[in-house]
Chain A
């Protein structure tokens, strides 16, 4: 009898877990249907969900919005030309996942689609009016000390940078509350030092710093909502309020009248992170800042470049120049930005207002080893590109990116250089006593489609994890009969 000693190869599939940043779509998908159902009672959420849908799906919704009975699925399919069938399927899937529409049978027996009642009702309310006003819109006396947009931008930027600075140089603890620290720890962006218990930044934290401000805010708030449920704050209510904020007008004041106690607590937290501005805790009014407004347009990838616009990033100027010879010039003084650049460049010189570095294979690979993706590096450079980089004319060809194409490609190549292996979990079968046994088992595994690798001379084979049970059973049966 041969004995197949099985040595489980437990390969670490994810050597360096990259930071997960879900967008609203993915966040909602991971929630329960009941939660979604409650969310769709808020017109703001419906509006936000609508904007997050794929473009074709948006048109499906708007075409079905005023239709009261189910529409045959075949009809919906016929709206899109054949060449884009794949995109159409994806859009339909997204709508089903988010429970925006449900399957409904049509009298003729054909399958049909029907928009979810509450979603339809509340999207109509948001678009055309009706229903109850949002909680924060009670009328107000004109504010004697009204704040302008520039002030709010500066305030938001200062508050948010305070959080970021805390992450880098944890020494200064002023201006950041225990709550914020708890969220950072909960999110795994920071961790307690083993020795003195002070919070230190993790790898995930560095990746967090490389994200665009809008994404940082959204990720941070996601974790906040996670912890909110433990603090008896309703996540649905908080989310609805957040989106109300994101759909408000910059530079306008809103009333806190009629807001529940929970929401007032929530508002104080938002105030701390710079999402809203309040002069006094009991002021009765607040101003949303650009950070809160950005939530709505959070997904726009390249859109944030340059800032400005209705939903643009806080008016923070780009400061990085990248040349085709891989040199990086950063006009900055803050240690935070220098530290971030140092993650993926080799710093050469430092002047009072300028840092010069160079992107090398080693420096970028060091960053990649730390779990930072090429996408994040490129995005960071692009997001903070100097205005001159945007206006640089590339011989009349409209460039898709502000960065030189060579640098862009090379960073991506350096990343793919590291991804030469694909890992598959498997189980090794070896030490067969006879060639015949080996061949029988191998052929069975091959027939089942679970064979990953085999070598006849050393009588070794590797079976995937899923196929292991089946092959093992087969082997037991086989060895008994023979």
Chain B
């Protein structure tokens, strides 16, 4: 969505990692999560490697809450080099791993894992981007994007929240990229399409790092220079506000544009009362008969 072609001075990337334990690839083999996380950390560091001014945030998204994994709030960890790795990269790796452990430990034991709060995590990411933008020195050209790495399937339950964050992102000129590890995600794909980001469903989890580096590493200005996977067809069905089901044809409130699968006399969103009872097409027929 960014209209300027000139390469930016700095690029801000917020990665949202879905750590929900009920994702299929984790329930099948919990060890795969470590591999995926390593790939994400490697990718995050590659992003920081591109330019000295690039910035990074990582958000862990669980079923009970979302939390910043990097940068950690408060004082950063005191990291000393242990091997030849660049100090900053060691810091990123250590912080993410430590904070992720805390996040997983904090999950309520009695509850059954629910759905990942992805929309909330995207909202957090947008807030972070807004904060960084506000604090950045004037005259600095900065591009921002969000990458969602998830293996959950999308449900229409968060439909409204999704649409709100997608359109906010579009307005803020923030790209949303989605890397799906498991199923096809039609809702998130809509978000990519709205904000001008890329959507990729990886065929296999082996070599996840390579997929990430190839497709999602290029910055906005570099993307049109490289040959990258195309948009494909996007499923633009909306979900109804009453049962959160995806529809092709439905009822729309004329005031607030809420979508319903069944007719109701009062809009549940804006409480508008519809005076005409019964389906609309009947009325003109009656008028014609009178004339």
**Residues of A near any B CB (own CB < 8 A):** 43-44, 47, 50-51, 55-56, 58-59, 62-63, 66, 78-81, 83-84, 87, 122, 125-134, 137, 139, 247-249, 296-297, 300, 302-303, 305-312, 387, 390-391, 398, 402
Contacts and interface: CB of A to CB of B under 8 A. Distances in A.
Given A297-B52, A390-B139, A79 B87 contact: no
Interface stretch (B214-222, B231-239, B249-257, B272-280): B214-222
B28 interface: no
A177 to B, nearest CB: 30
6 contacts: A56-B222, A131-B85, A300-B9, A302-B139, A303-B140, A391-B138
B51 A306 contact: no
Nearest to B210: A66
Interface string B185-227: 0000000000000000000000001100110011101101111
B85 A59 contact: no
B137 A309 contact: yes
Given A59-B222, A81-B226, A247 B88 contact: yes
Nearest to B4: A398
Given A81-B227, A305-B137, A309-B53, A126 B222 contact: no
A81 B209 CA distance: 23
A297 B139 contact: no
Contact of A303 (B9, B82, B85, B214): B9
Contacts of B222: 55-56, 59
Interface of B: 4, 7, 9-10, 42, 45-46, 49-53, 80-90, 93, 136-140, 209-210, 213-214, 217-219, 221-222, 224-227
Binding site secondary structure of chain B: loop
A307 B45 CA distance: 24
B138 A247 contact: no
Given A127-B46, A127-B86, A311-B53, 4 more contacts: A126-B85, A128-B85, A130-B83, A300-B9
A129 B84 contact: yes
A115 B221 CA distance: 25
A122 B84 CA distance: 8
Given A51-B51, A133-B81, A248 B137 contact: no
A80 B84 contact: no
Given A80-B226, A131-B84, A312 B50 contact: no
Report which residue of A128, A296, A311 has the largest number of chain B beta carbons within 10 angstroms of its beta carbon. A128
B137 A81 contact: no
Contacts of B4: 398
A482 to B, nearest CB: 61
B52 A296 contact: yes
Contacts of A133: 81-84
A328 to B, nearest CB: 19
A31 B30 CA distance: 51
Contact of A306 (B87, B138, B227): B138
Contact of B213 (A62, A308, A390): A62
| 10 residue pairs, one from A and one from B, having the closest CB atoms | A131-B84, A306-B137, A390-B138, A137-B81, A297-B52, A129-B85, A125-B84, A303-B9, A84-B225, A305-B139
